[in-house]
Structure 1
């Protein structure tokens, strides 16, 4: 199967927001959009209830993806939309669907009045068990939210895109992660803001002028390392303006802060095949829960 932008859809507000984001991404990538509707069988006692009988179950199963596809075709006439329905456990089925995804897009409930995501067990499981990029989109996310606000603070889809933000570990930079971020920025014709956080040595104590000078020197060294990693990419993709930020402190804090002015936040997940199971890492986990922009998790070696 050719690569598609793939989105899991179940009729919820978060999955519909994810489908709209995925349709816009499919337009940027000039790829088909695949809507995957996973149907988990209703337990037998519930299935025998009058309102959840075979006819009602079949009608609901057909209606959700059909209505979603019809709406997307009307709003995004240049995007080819295909629908796929599968049965089984959602996490396993979506992880399987991710094999042909570029990327896989999932919806996530927002945290009410507080910015960020509420990641369910299905989303975390899919992220941890697939090697394809996975994008999380909050319920209520709109096209205008990805764009620069006007002087009155009102976003407009007609304005330029906000920057793409990349969280980068200079100790183990990976081309898959960096390439995904550069590509996302290039497709949006926007800047790439690369954030790297560093911490002074554990024995370091803040105090007099000599300590401030040591901290400043450490910052200069870290900034030089970040520039060394990014220089080949800036030559490879010269159309993307790169803003490098080497900042002391916690990476998750800086990335969540940067998400307030981002169209997309890109973070990595190291692929680990451990008997204890897969996990996403503490920084990525924190960003997933607290970022206010869509978050792309890119698995890498």
Structure 2
């Protein structure tokens, strides 16, 4: 299987978190052998307590934007000299800009938070909005340094209901191939309360539900196992809530991949409680991959 071919776009705002996202995106561009484009939405200035400026007073805003872009482009080129790095400053709302970039078939990379207490909240909402509505994968860079620097050599993917995990699995497999690491597929299950016997014994309902879950995971992986001998796939069937299983797995992962449903014409948030939990609390970067 060929490595991921989608170009990378990283959104920046000058915060330390966005610079961390630039570092991560530059490393990923090297692994994927794709160009990197850095974009800055000048409407961020509304969230940074800058007063609106018009006419001859627009100069400082342009200087500020040029400084942000210049700093991040230089940083990316130093980190990944072999990667083609371009940049763009757009006078637009950041979420709108990044969602549109995603519509062009690019993978969008964002930081987890911004500068200051208020900005941190606003950037968090932008990241969530982009992850919820972007038509292509979105990666939120978060977690510890070892997780961000591929120190665990493992990509984790959450496998849910049958027929809904294909895009996330494919993305995770390509990413694991590009990195040369293990792919760990996590599927959680819960035994209905009415099915739990007072004194569980081997072969009784709890065993049945686990065996059923193992079969569901095997069925989901059938299309990828054996398709690429270079990627080692580890199956992990866990009893309990999906969010608990994925958060635990993220502690020793370089990237956590989850799927997100997209409904045509649906304007509300597309992220369920599991995705919200991992985007807020995962110990590693999180990739949200849309499916219909």
TM-score range, shorter chain: 0.7 to 0.9
Alpha-carbon distance, 1:211 to partner: 8.0
What is the 5 A alignment of 1:251-266? 251-266=242-257
Alpha-carbon distance, 1:141 to partner: 4.3
Range moving further from structure 2, 176-185 or 211-220: 211-220
Residue 157 of structure 1 is matched in structure 2 by none
Alpha-carbon distance, 1:35 to partner: 0.2
Is 2:92 the partner of 1:95? Answer: no
Compared CA separation, residues 57 and 257, structure 1 to 2 (3 A) = same
Compared CA separation, residues 273 and 74, structure 1 to 2 (3 A) = same
Is 2:19 the partner of 1:10? Answer: no
Checking the alignment, whether the CA contact within 8 Å between 1:6 and 1:101 is kept in structure 2 is no
Is 2:51 the partner of 1:46? Answer: yes
Residue 284 of structure 2 is matched in structure 1 by 293
Alpha-carbon distance, 1:42 to partner: 5.5
What is the 5 A alignment of 1:182-193? 182-193=173-184
CA RMSD after TM alignment: 2.7
Range moving further from structure 2, 267-276 or 202-211: 202-211
- Residue 31 of structure 1 aligns to a residue whose secondary structure is coil
Is 2:218 the partner of 1:227? Answer: yes
- Residue 184 of structure 1 aligns to a residue whose secondary structure is helix
Compared CA separation, residues 72 and 270, structure 1 to 2 (3 A) = same
* Total equivalences in the alignment: 279
Compared CA separation, residues 293 and 45, structure 1 to 2 (3 A) = closer
Alpha-carbon distance, 1:294 to partner: 0.2
CA deviations over 1:51-70 (Å, ceiling 9, x no partner): x9422212111111111101
Checking the alignment, whether the CA contact within 8 Å between 1:166 and 1:193 is kept in structure 2 is yes
- The normalised TM-score by structure 2 is 0.87
- Residue 171 of structure 2 aligns to a residue whose secondary structure is helix
Q: Unpaired segments of 5 or more residues in structure 1?
A: 111-116, 149-161
Residue 129 of structure 2 is matched in structure 1 by 125
Instruction: Tell me which of 207, 213, 226 is aligned to 2:204.
Output: 213
Checking the alignment, whether the CA contact within 8 Å between 2:143 and 2:282 is kept in structure 1 is no
Q: Unpaired segments of 5 or more residues in structure 2?
A: 115-120
Range moving further from structure 2, 57-66 or 207-216: 207-216
- The normalised TM-score by structure 1 is 0.84
What is the 5 A alignment of 1:138-157? 138=142, 141=145, 145-148=149-152
Checking the alignment, whether the CA contact within 8 Å between 1:4 and 1:100 is kept in structure 2 is no
Residue 25 of structure 2 is matched in structure 1 by 22
Alpha-carbon distance, 1:118 to partner: 9.9
Checking the alignment, whether the CA contact within 8 Å between 1:23 and 1:33 is kept in structure 2 is yes
Residue 195 of structure 1 is matched in structure 2 by 186
Residue 273 of structure 1 is matched in structure 2 by 264
Range moving further from structure 2, 132-141 or 282-291: 132-141
Alpha-carbon distance, 1:224 to partner: 1.9
Instruction: Tell me which of 85, 104, 112 is aligned to 1:108.
Output: 112
- Residue 272 of structure 1 aligns to a residue whose secondary structure is coil
Checking the alignment, whether the CA contact within 8 Å between 1:10 and 1:37 is kept in structure 2 is yes
Compared CA separation, residues 41 and 147, structure 1 to 2 (3 A) = closer
* Cα distance between partner residues in 1 of 2:147 and 2:215: 36
Checking the alignment, whether the CA contact within 8 Å between 1:13 and 1:139 is kept in structure 2 is no
